Amino acid sequence: MNFSQTLFALKQQHLYRSAKVVDSGCVNFCSNDYLGLKNHSQVIKAFKEGADEFGVGSGAAHLVSGHSKAHQALEEALAKYTKQQRVLLFSSGYSANLGVFSALKSKLDWVVQDKLNHASLIDANQLIGLPVQRYLHNDTNSLKKKIQKQTGQGLVVTDSIFSMDGDSANIDQLSTIAKHSNAWFMQDDAHGFGMKTPHIPSHSIYMATLGKAAGTMGAFVAGDEEFIEFLIQKSRPYIYTTAIAPALCMAALKSLELIQQGTQQQKLRANIDYFYIFSQTLGLPIAHSKSAIQPLIVGNNEKALMISKTLLKQGFFVKAIRSPTVPQGTERLRITLSANHTKTQIAQLLTQIKNAL
Ligand SMILES: Cc1ncc(COP(=O)(O)O)c(C=O)c1O
């Protein structure tokens, strides 16, 4: 086994990936914990109580003996919150997307996806052996053109908020186009869940994760009763894996309560507004994203890495997002805002970015 050439080439191209141990002394501007719930005292308390009651793990897959009353309560609470007939928990958003596609494999003739959809949706598409067909980002005409060429049962899929740009899909328009061509419609709301009220067209498929704004871990699919029953029978990433810890479900239930109170969202919205105004004052080329995800395009891998490293030395953790994760030429810093950032931290970060540029 010899991997050194590949590793060397990745280093040469500034594409080498490594996990950094998070330094608590740094201000984190690249977490998806948008609402600051990951460390919220009430969420931690619920998690601890859950561990006391249920133990640390779930012990088995849902269909064996891993489905505790905490899982059941969370599924019911999420169904109520999303106003859907039923919800099914998965261990991550990645496996939920694989789970939906793998269950639908024998039903689908084609899939069309937004060009900027998350990697897990692309992998899910590849898993079922159908060609990955992508329409231009957020472009309904391009979607219509792609659909015209298809025959049989189709699926139109979009991220709800795009993970690298922070912009939103027009769910109503896209689902209507899908409906007119008798295709099914699916949205991945990984970055929207908890931030805005879920908007789910009737008889469509909704996926969201609990590891981002909810501050915990796991994911769920919501939809019609019959569709969820179908997933239980056919979704291998649901059937053949250990259920998430019941304590996590208790924590997520508390997060859901706090999400519905709305206090953290208000703080986040104020931070998003402040970030925009201050970046404009400094003349920084930041696209106006209304979400917590704020991309600063720098245009090449090396430069993105260099700025990220400089910021780290100054105490700010901001991740460089390189190609091929984003299209070549759009390499960037992906800044994510949290409800718990202070205005001073935001102002300091932007000033340091300005200096680094
Ligand atoms: C749009 C989108 N979908 C799915 C996922 C995967 O979710 P998870 O991290 O829970 O596996 C992500 C994670 O980054 C994402 O951004």
Ligand 1 in reach of 212 Cβ (< 6 A): no
Q: Is the pLDDT of residue 325 over 90?
A: no
Q: Which fold has domain 41-260?
A: Aspartate Aminotransferase; domain 2 (3.40.640)
pLDDT given at position 287:
79
pLDDT given at position 154:
97
Pairing of strands 86-90, 219-223: antiparallel
pLDDT given at position 189:
98
**Tens-place pLDDT, residues 141-150:** 999 999 999 9
Asked if 174 and 143 touch (Cβ cutoff 8 Å), the reply is: yes
pLDDT given at position 324:
85
pLDDT band at 42 (very low <50, low <70, confident <90, very high): very high
pLDDT given at position 53:
98
Indicate the average pLDDT of the chain. 95
Return all residues near 176 (Cβ < 8 A) that are at least 6 apart.
201
How close is the Cα of 118 to the center of ligand 1, in Å?
Answer: 7
Spatial distance between the Cα atoms of 269 and 291, rounded to a whole number of angstroms: 8
Ligand 1 in reach of 218 Cβ (< 6 A): no
**What is the arithmetic mean of pLDDT over 141-164?**
96
pLDDT given at position 8:
93
Ligand 1 atom having least distance to the Cα of 94 = 11
Q: Is the pLDDT of residue 78 over 90?
A: yes
Return all residues near 35 (Cβ < 8 A) that are at least 6 apart.
194, 195, 213, 214, 215, 255, 258, 259, 264, 265, 268, 338, 339
pLDDT given at position 326:
87
Return residue ranges of the chain for CATH 3.40.640.10.
41-260
Ligand 1, atom 7: closest residue by C-alpha: 93
Return residue ranges of the chain for CATH 3.90.1150.10.
262-356
pLDDT given at position 29:
96
CB atoms within 10 A of CB 150: 15
Q: Which fold has domain 262-356?
A: Aspartate Aminotransferase, domain 1 (3.90.1150)
Q: Which of the pair, 247 or 11, is modelled with greater confidence?
A: 247
